[in-house]
Amino acid sequence: MISDRQNIQVSVAIVGGGLSGMSAAWELYQAGIDSLVVLEANDRIGGRTFNQLHPKIGYVEMGGTWVGRTQTAVLDLARQLGVATKQGKVDGATIYGYQGIWTMHEDNPSESATPAQKDFAQVMAKFEQLSQNVPLDAPWNTPNAETLDSISAGEWIDRNTETIEARAWMAGSIRQGIAGDPHQVSMLFVLYFMANAGFFDLRETAEDYRLVGGSHSLTLKIAEHLGDRVWLNTRVREISHGDRVRLVTKRGVIQADYAIVAMMPKDAGKIHFDPPLPAIHQQLISEWQQMSWIKFFCLYPRPLWWGKAASGHYYSMDTEAEVFDVSPDDGSYGLLIGFFEPKYSNLSEVERRKCAIQTVTDMFGIAGAAPEEYFEIDYTQQSWTSGCVAALPPGLLTQAGAALNEPVGRIYWAGTERSTRWINYMDGAVRSGQHAARQILEQLI
Amino acid sequence: MISDRQNIQVSVAIVGGGLSGMSAAWELYQAGIDSLVVLEANDRIGGRTFNQLHPKIGYVEMGGTWVGRTQTAVLDLARQLGVATKQGKVDGATIYGYQGIWTMHEDNPSESATPAQKDFAQVMAKFEQLSQNVPLDAPWNTPNAETLDSISAGEWIDRNTETIEARAWMAGSIRQGIAGDPHQVSMLFVLYFMANAGFFDLRETAEDYRLVGGSHSLTLKIAEHLGDRVWLNTRVREISHGDRVRLVTKRGVIQADYAIVAMMPKDAGKIHFDPPLPAIHQQLISEWQQMSWIKFFCLYPRPLWWGKAASGHYYSMDTEAEVFDVSPDDGSYGLLIGFFEPKYSNLSEVERRKCAIQTVTDMFGIAGAAPEEYFEIDYTQQSWTSGCVAALPPGLLTQAGAALNEPVGRIYWAGTERSTRWINYMDGAVRSGQHAARQILEQLI
């Protein structure tokens, strides 16, 4: 290992080879900055966009899966890199299951709608309306920001609904959209998320396409261009900063004019900064939640439920699991993916398997009852990525939001969590990486 | 540095040389376990209990300062180590300042009390009553735990008070007692804290004595006994665990039968665990807040306010600063210490100085107006301790509380945050260290 040590100097060092870090590197490289290095702790690039090979069906996407039609940053990047798109399969409204009954939400419920459906529609309309007042580049300037940030979305919903069902549906919507417990997530953050990423319109705009070859293709293609500028198995454990930036790894010390930290905020907390970061940056990094859902896969010889089910997207309030149909167009096999809440991490894989099959069987009847294969990814048990997507607790956005995109000296920030558009999506990752790269390019020119 | 590398094997490795880690080491050492090592990242031991030398007054205590009469673990340890105690100076009820008016809280307000005083008394009584139902070893089993953990203390107070003043006083009490923003702290956690550490009785039981030579004396005395078993400047950056525990530092790899991680939960998040910790342990570590107050010192030639002020403990709702009188008994100099909320970290030291003097002058008039010297410690800017004391956001105690004192294989946990008595105090640090040591001794015997 010692012989492998390289102390190098570069113009820009990028910490993290996920989609945002690789997008930043690509942006810089295309602008003529070839003195750069991407430092990735894991033994692969891609972060939360990666394929796993599968003997029967080629590969499965373990992370990001869909692209929406207005997600132009990731669509443009795919086009530029020669990654084709195909149609996504989510083509109906979300269907909510509650105590064994499956209901489709309608934005404009008819006169014959139940009181619960009307209640759900009115509270959603309130969310939509409030979210229109959130400035994307400074959500802390929303009217009544302090008040909205002082309460949880769950608390706000409790006050603004009258039926238990509407509360459960709203909680389900927030769980699936934000990946957070409504009582632990700031109301202001939920409104910001809606404004930023069109939450509640999710089915219309975020799942229109999929990427041929999987979402991993994006970073793999960029890596081909960057060659040996990408270092795997290279955890950055310390960053000293001042006139230059000094990044300490087991493979050597990298001296850089600028650094981009392109990680989940929480993961950046594992790096020792010297001197310590300003307080609001520490607060943002440390209090960003880590809501790790478990993604599961049920594989079938055929999509036996086709022609019977009304939608490609289901949410069960009973098992609190979300299910999508991602079978290929030719129906050559059937594949359902789903998400379990973080608390399922405390169960065994055997118990979760049982739960997944129960949910799928509730949805599709006998057609879902016997998957050929069940497998899963638990993001809490990934070594270098602490969680899939995450939300903000009350207070953080107003107190520390200003640190989202503010560099600290020569250290810049990327990661989908910091994007002013499509936060938590692949599109946000691309945008935030490009944004950090452009901030540095302005300094270099 | 390479020549300094030592790969050693020990029975127990302790990560962190703060009061809890050193108490654990001392407990083990006295039980005959001399194959141990304490690994401390900083260039000194003591963690949040340390002295700074001062040319005029000898030293000042930068961290923990008082000991209460029922804090028997730390009192016993002091006696055993030959550290004497002296009387503390906090001898009256807390005086609250709000919009320029200073009011003393009374538990049983007289008939002539203002509506605000009565309101404050009734809501405090409710807190006291609810806190009596919290089982110290399993606060998640409190009646209605889920509900109490789903809302913030601020929210609960808003619902249970009628006057603005009572809300402000309660918020102030929580800020000073828990070091957390009431709207970001779980109501269940506040009740647990009250049951655990007698919050709101703070003035009666937690500030009776001080330690001669400063609180740093405790760990310094233990270090004398342990000799070269204490390694400074030795950050543990990785812990692999299985049949044994493997701790990776720049000075070498330590193989241990058992490890005790004796750090603030948040700081343990900087260590890379392989395999990753179970989800609830990660959640506990990662979501524990980091509420870093700034401790300031105003030094005077004499305690000019003696004989004029009614109490040794003040809280200003206007500047949100808390002030204590820590002058020596002989009045040979005057020393006030105070605490600013985390948001003051965003001001310059010059601005904070102005604010501190304003607060002290509001309290003591001209007697406080001209300190000879102002200095401070900002815990957000300490390299190896991310914050002074901290609280739990809604949801965490019920979801992840079980991880508080549950070992992960051969890894045990210490730190005042995990103590079932006197959490966040020095006494809790000693208790938690002793508890972890005893858990391991049970395995060894």
Residues of chain A found within 8 Å of residue B399, distances taken between Cβ atoms: 343
| CATH code for the domain in which residue B184 is found | 1.10.405.10
Whether B279 sits inside 8 A of A378 (CB atoms) is yes
pLDDT tens column, B308-355:
655 667 777 777 788 888 888 888 999 999 988 877 888 889 999 999
In 3D space, the residue among B2, B42, B37 whose CA is nearest the CA of residue B18 turns out to be: B42
With CA atoms as reference, the chain A residue closest to B385 would be A276
Domain count, chain A: 2
For B415, phi then psi, to 5°, come to: 125, 140
| CATH code for the domain in which residue A428 is found | 3.50.50.60
Looking at the fold, whether A230 and A193 belong to one and the same domain comes out as no
pLDDT at B222 (0 to 100)? 98
Whether A395 sits inside 8 A of B266 (CB atoms) is no
pLDDT at B33 (0 to 100)? 97
Question: Does B324 carry a binding-site annotation?
Answer: no
The arrangement of strands across the sheet holding B66-67 comes to B66-67, B209-211, B85-87
pLDDT at B3 (0 to 100)? 41
With CA atoms as reference, the chain B residue closest to A386 would be B282
Please determine, for residue B107, whether its predicted confidence score (pLDDT) is greater than 60: no
Please determine, for residue B1, whether its predicted confidence score (pLDDT) is greater than 60: no
Whether B383 sits inside 8 A of A274 (CB atoms) is yes
Residues of chain B found within 8 Å of residue A287, distances taken between Cβ atoms: 287, 289-290, 393
Whether A292 sits inside 8 A of B270 (CB atoms) is no
Residues of chain B found within 8 Å of residue A154, distances taken between Cβ atoms: 150
Alpha helix ranges (H) inside A164-256: 164-178, 187-197, 202-205, 216-226
Residues belonging to chain A: 445
Q: Are B368 and B289 in contact (CB under 8 A)?
A: no
Residues of chain A found within 8 Å of residue B271, distances taken between Cβ atoms: 270
Provide the phi-psi class of B189: left if phi over 0, else alpha when psi is between -120 and 50, else beta. Answer: alpha
Looking at the fold, whether A109 and A245 belong to one and the same domain comes out as no
Confirm whether B309 is domain-assigned: no
Looking at the fold, whether A219 and A200 belong to one and the same domain comes out as no
Its domain, for residue A430, covers 2-48+214-289+396-444
Alpha-carbon gap, residue B218 to B23, rounded angstroms = 9
Nearest CB to A394; choose among B183, B266, B378: B183
Nearest CB to A270; choose among B183, B270, B280: B270
**Per-residue pLDDT tens listing for chain A (445 residues):** 334 567 899 999 999 999 999 999 999 999 999 999 999 999 999 999 999 999 999 999 999 999 998 999 999 999 999 999 998 866 555 666 766 676 665 556 677 788 988 999 899 899 989 999 999 999 999 999 999 999 999 999 999 999 998 998 888 888 877 878 898 899 999 999 999 987 665 445 788 899 999 999 999 999 999 999 999 999 999 999 999 999 999 899 999 999 999 999 989 999 999 999 998 999 899 888 877 788 999 999 998 877 765 566 777 777 778 888 888 888 899 999 998 887 788 888 999 999 999 888 887 778 888 899 999 988 888 878 877 788 899 999 999 999 999 999 999 999 999 999 999 999 999 999 999 999 999 998 7
Question: Does B351 carry a binding-site annotation?
Answer: no
Residues 6+ apart with CB under 8 A from A366: none
Provide the phi-psi class of A203: left if phi over 0, else alpha when psi is between -120 and 50, else beta. Answer: alpha
Stronger pLDDT, B387 or B21, i.e. the higher one: B21
Nearest CB to B276; choose among A184, A381, A394: A381
Alpha-carbon gap, residue A335 to A328, rounded angstroms = 8
Nearest CB to A183; choose among B235, B274, B394: B394
Take residue B7 and report the two structure tokens written for it.
Answer: 């790969």
Which of these three, B205, B228, B248, is where a domain ends? B205
Whether B152 sits inside 8 A of A280 (CB atoms) is no
Which of these three, A157, A181, A205, is where a domain ends? A205
Alpha-carbon gap, residue B352 to B354, rounded angstroms = 5
Looking at the fold, whether B136 and B182 belong to one and the same domain comes out as yes
pLDDT at B287 (0 to 100)? 86
Which of these three, A170, A205, A240, is where a domain ends? A205
Confirm whether B373 is domain-assigned: no
Looking at the fold, whether B44 and B171 belong to one and the same domain comes out as no
Q: Are A58 and A65 in contact (CB under 8 A)?
A: no
Alpha-carbon gap, residue A17 to A3, rounded angstroms = 24
pLDDT at B175 (0 to 100)? 80
User: What one-letter code names the amino acid at A185?
Assistant: V
A232 alpha-carbon distance from chain centroid: 22
Confirm whether B66 is domain-assigned: no
Alpha helix ranges (H) inside A161-304: 164-178, 187-197, 202-205, 216-226, 265-268, 279-287
Please determine, for residue B203, whether its predicted confidence score (pLDDT) is greater than 50: no
Looking at the fold, whether A240 and A222 belong to one and the same domain comes out as yes
- Maximum separation of any 2 CA atoms in chain B, in Å: 75
Residue keyed to tokens 């409104």? A191
pLDDT tens column, B349-372:
999 999 999 888 887 778 888 899
With CA atoms as reference, the chain B residue closest to A274 would be B383
Long-range contacts of B119-124 (CB under 8 A, 24+ apart): B119/B161, B119/B162, B119/B163, B119/B165, B119/B166, B120/B161, B120/B163, B120/B165, B120/B166, B120/B169, B120/B170, B123/B157, B123/B160, B123/B161, B123/B166, B123/B170, B124/B170, B124/B173, B124/B200
Please determine, for residue B91, whether its predicted confidence score (pLDDT) is greater than 90: no
Residues belonging to chain B: 445
Helices (H) and strands (E) in chain B, counts: 14, 20
Alpha-carbon gap, residue A343 to A289, rounded angstroms = 14
- Chain B positions with Cβ closer than 8 Å to A: 150-152, 154-155, 181, 183-184, 235, 237, 266, 269-272, 274-276, 278-280, 282-283, 286-287, 289-290, 292, 342-343, 345-346, 378, 380-383, 386, 393-395, 399
Confirm whether A259 is domain-assigned: yes
